[in-house]
Amino acid sequence: MIVDCHTHLYSEGSKGCSPQEHRNVFRDVDACFVLAGCQADRHIANEDLADYVRQNPKAVGFAAINPTEDAVDARFLKKTVLEKGLRGLVLYCAEEQFHPAHSRAMNLYEAAEELRLPVFFHNCPPFSLQAVMEFARPFQLDEIARTFPRLKIIVGRMGFPFIEQTWCLLAKNENVFADLTIVPQKVWEVYNLVMSAYEAGVMDKLLFGSGYPYATPQTCIETLLGFNKMLSDTHLPQVPREKLRSIVERDSLVALGLSEK
């Protein structure tokens, strides 16, 4: 089972890829999470995403939500997410300038836990000039995980650049996972991310991601499985290959409770 837990879809004429391009790239994977962007009108982005997932059974759509602007409760989520065929939520706290544990956001998590909707925190680079970086710190998600222990949480791109906080969060909270989005061009970054996760004993909490359209799943899989060859001449520590394969082959649908929906 290969599930890419971090991909994006953009409409024709905008930055990114067309629906057909996205579908072609992911022909050889079993499933992919498609995250709606935080465009000026995220409601249109969510509608575009809903149209796409209806056409592509491999796509698992995550609706973009801003709880400080939307009156979010279980009824709202049923109407704007579940009834449209979307199966998760993505929040852009840093870019949209709200604290992850804002009181209205906490109401959202309560409803998401009730409806078993996983929440993806896309607080990762590149940051725009207006982004509030302190709202991207993973340790701030611990309050959410403690308050809603059944809520499935995904930390986008390992919480980079605050990855040490992510390791603690993963080790401490059963239902918190991290998206290991690989950047094939950044060999030293990939090495440090994977090795530090291995040393922290949290490899089983990592979900494979490509960050498409910035990289393809095929290239990222090759990079991850070739991990021990990247710096073989340096005699640096290595990670057992079965641990690397377990990330690529992890069934993220089961891990996040999406396989039953």
The pLDDT value given to residue 111 = 97
Neighbouring residues of 195: CB distance < 8 A, sequence distance ≥ 6: 236, 237, 239
- Cα separation, 166 vs 141, in Å, equals 9
The pLDDT value given to residue 12 = 44
Over the chain, what is the mean pLDDT? 92
* Domains identified in the chain and CATH numbers: 3-255 (3.20.20.140)
The pLDDT value given to residue 230 = 77
Q: How far is CA 229 from CA 87, 196, 237, in A?
A: 37, 17, 11
- Cα separation, 165 vs 70, in Å, equals 29
Q: Return the minimum-mean-pLDDT range out of 13-17, 99-103, 105-109.
A: 13-17
The pLDDT value given to residue 231 = 76
- Answer for the pair 94, 133: CB distance below 8 angstroms, yes or no: yes
The pLDDT value given to residue 16 = 58
Neighbouring residues of 171: CB distance < 8 A, sequence distance ≥ 6: 200, 201, 202
Q: Return the minimum-mean-pLDDT range out of 64-78, 89-103, 193-207.
A: 64-78
In DSSP terms, 178 is beta-bridged to 155, 206
Residue 13 in this model has a pLDDT that exceeds 60: no
Mean pLDDT of 215-220: 94
**Which amino acid type is present at position 29?**
V
- Strand order, beta sheet including 119-121: 3-8, 31-35, 59-64, 88-91, 119-121, 153-155, 176-181, 206-209
- Cα separation, 71 vs 170, in Å, equals 30
According to DSSP, the β-strands at 59-64 and 88-91 are parallel
The pLDDT value given to residue 258 = 95
Q: pLDDT tens, 171-205?
A: 999 999 999 998 888 888 889 999 999 999 999 99
Q: How far apart are the first and last CA of the chain?
A: 17
Residue 250 in this model has a pLDDT that exceeds 50: yes
In DSSP terms, 119 is beta-bridged to 89, 153
Mean pLDDT of 36-54: 89
The answer, as to whether pTM is greater than 0.75, is yes
**What share of the chain has pLDDT > 90, as a percent?**
77
- Cα separation, 118 vs 191, in Å, equals 28
Backbone angles phi, psi at 6, to 5 degrees: -145, 95
- Cα separation, 45 vs 51, in Å, equals 10
Q: pLDDT tens, 230-249?
A: 777 888 899 999 999 999 99
- Answer for the pair 86, 49: CB distance below 8 angstroms, yes or no: yes
- Cα separation, 260 vs 163, in Å, equals 31
- Cα separation, 105 vs 238, in Å, equals 40
Residue 41 in this model has a pLDDT that exceeds 60: yes
